[in-house]
Amino acid sequence: MSKKKEVVTSGGIVVREKPLKLRIWNNRGYYIMFIPVLVFLIIIHYWPLLGIRYSFYDYYPGRQAPTFVGIKHFQNMFATAAFWTAFKNTLELSVIKLIITTVSSVVVSIFLNEMGNLLAKKTLQTIIYLPHFMSWAVVASIFSLFLSPSSTGLVNGMLKSWGVIDPAGQGIYFLASKDWWRPIFYIINIWKETGWGTIIFLATLSGINPELYEAADIDGATRLQKIRFVTVPALMNTIITVLILNLAKVMNMFESVFVLYNSNVYDVSDVVSTYIYRQSFAVARPNYGYSTAVGLFKSLVGCVLVLVCNWASKKTRGRGII
């Protein structure tokens, strides 16, 4: 006869744990409700993982059966300059965007925290939150109109009226210029994500002990000194946590680039995800084996970043992210 496991409740009472089959039967309603969710997860998230095998095949859908080629696609990938350009751009765009959006969120959070007028503070918060809820397609349409080189472009119209550029000449096509695309991309990201990023920092600021500010007032500290020596140090742990958690997602950049870039700026804007998209849908004879190999490499790099960030999180916060 198998021994029944004994467990100690929170009240210190020792009870015998029921057999697994009996526990499943007693909670059958919960398991039945969980079945649709489990099926959905398997079909959407795990079944597609079987396609990883095509990274070792030449695969032209509808034309011929997959042909095993070993690591040929990985060799081609590492020997392709366009892939390395996309990989470098992914890291640069993601890391710089992460840093500047975090810094802007911290600055705006401190500014909001210092506002004394509650109505003005709530109104401003609502206004800066709204861009986050706009889709990237809408954002791209708005800024394409603003930055259009034609006479309808607001920015070019202002520059011409100020005499910065020749009023009779052609305007600057910002989104098709290698010199301008990245600065514009960062500005759009600041505009869209700064408001949403302030939420976590404002929550941290609301938890600062008021006695610290009172002590600073007694010492004769100015408002800027209180921000420097009380507010910013209190935010540092949150800032590090946000940077660590978001660093694990640097390889996932796609939509924000896809709706803004074009063939004129591939050298400075193309990222791994858009490179995969073009290899799959924008070439005359796509080899899904090659694009799968690039996607697998991207996933492996993302996995390494997650593990590194998990280690860094344990060192700084005392607990991991996974």
CA separation (Å) from 126 to 121, 130, 196, 264? Answer: 9, 6, 10, 37
Residue 33: inside a domain: yes
My answer on whether 13 and 152 are in the same domain is no
Per-residue pLDDT tens over the stretch 271-282: 999 999 999 888
Which tokens in the block code for residue 264? 């004129």
Q: Tell me if 165 is assigned to some domain.
A: yes
Residue 71 lies in a domain: no
- Residue 145 domain-assigned (yes or no): yes
**Same domain, yes or no: 29 and 170:** no
Note whether 180 and 266 are same-domain residues. Answer: yes
Number of domains in the chain: 2
CB atoms within 10 A of CB 150: 11
Q: Which residues of the chain have pLDDT under 50?
A: 1-2
Counting runs of H as helices and runs of E as strands, what totals does the chain give?
15, 4
Say if residue 50 is in the same domain as residue 106.
Answer: no
Report field, pTM of the whole predicted structure over 0.75? yes
pLDDT of residue 4: 58
Q: Let me know whether 113 and 233 are in one domain.
A: yes
Quickly tell me which residue has 């095998």 as its tokens: 53
The structure tokens listed for 186 are 């960062």
CA 63 to chain centre: 37
Strand bridging mode 67-68 / 14-16? unpaired
Residue 1, pLDDT score = 44
Tell me the H-state helices in 67-117.
72-78, 81-114
Same domain, 281 and 134: yes
Residue 72 in domain: no
Domain that holds residue 154: 81-317
What CATH number does residue 109 fall under? 1.10.3720.10
For residue 1, being part of any structural domain is answered with no
Same domain, 146 and 239: yes
pLDDT of residue 95: 92
Specify whether 31 is located in the same domain as 155: no
Distance, CA of 86 to CA of 275 (rounded, Å): 7
Same domain, residue pair 31 and 85: no
Partnered with residue 7 across adjacent β-strands are 15
Specify whether 52 is located in the same domain as 185. Answer: no
Integer Cα distance of 282 and 268 in angstroms: 19
Predicted local confidence at residue 90, as pLDDT: 94
Return the closest-CA partner of residue 87 out of 275, 305, 296. Answer: 275
Same-domain check for residues 38 and 86: no
Q: Let me know whether 12 and 131 are in one domain.
A: no
The CB-side HSE value for 36 (13 A sphere, CA atoms) comes to 3
Cα–Cα distance measured from residue 259 to residue 137, given in angstroms and rounded to the nearest whole number: 6
Residue 162 DSSP SS3: coil
Calculate the alpha carbon distances from 320 to 92, 308, 313, 317 in Å. 25, 10, 5, 8
- The answer as to whether 268 is a domain residue is yes
pLDDT at 152: 75
**CB neighbour list of residue 287: distance below 8 Å, 6 or more residues apart:** 58, 59, 60, 73, 279
Residue 321: both structure tokens together: 């992210």
Looking only at Cα atoms, what is the longest distance across the chain?
95
Residue 179 lies in a domain: yes
